[in-house]
Amino acid sequence: MNDDVIIVPMSPAHIAAIARIEAECFAQPWSARSLEEELNVPSAVFLTALSGGEVAGYMGAHHLGGCAYVCNVAVARAFRRQGIAAKLVRAQTAAAREAGMSEITLEVRHSNAAARALYEQSGFEWIGTRPRFYSDPTEDAEIYTLTFGGGSNL
């Protein structure tokens, strides 16, 4: 585990690096402009992982209707296998819980065994499959949810 990693709210200074990570990780990456627009969305909670001052990854979610929905999680190749994604998941989960959300939910590619294992180790439960959710390549999404006790209920 990389102990020098800190998790901070995404800021304009992080956008270019996060856009590069998006391009490195996803076939259909978010643009720098789309990421920057999230800074002005009241429901958006985007967190950045910094390692030695360098952007190592990020995780974005929206808090809507008492539920947190994860948009993306990405860690730069150079920083993988250092526990950064786990730190981001813990921080995003804590933010959702502190905001009074009743749950946090996400989709992950069926083939992404490492991410699925991380979510399961973090207490998320598999609740179903969205057939053909992803494109490039077409693939099912597995849906995972972590429910909090004492949050607002729908």
**Element at 76 (helix H, strand E):** none
Confidence band for 149, pLDDT divided at 50, 70 and 90: confident
Handedness of CA 105, 59, 88, 133 (dihedral sign): positive
CA distance 82 to 121: 16
Confidence band for 136, pLDDT divided at 50, 70 and 90: confident
Question: Six-digit token pair at 7?
Answer: 């998790």
- Residue showing tokens 């998006």: 22
Fold that domain 5-147 belongs to in CATH: Aminopeptidase (3.40.630)
**pLDDT of residue 1 exceeding 70:** no
Backbone angles phi, psi at 13, to 5 degrees: -65, -20
Domain ranges of the chain: 5-147
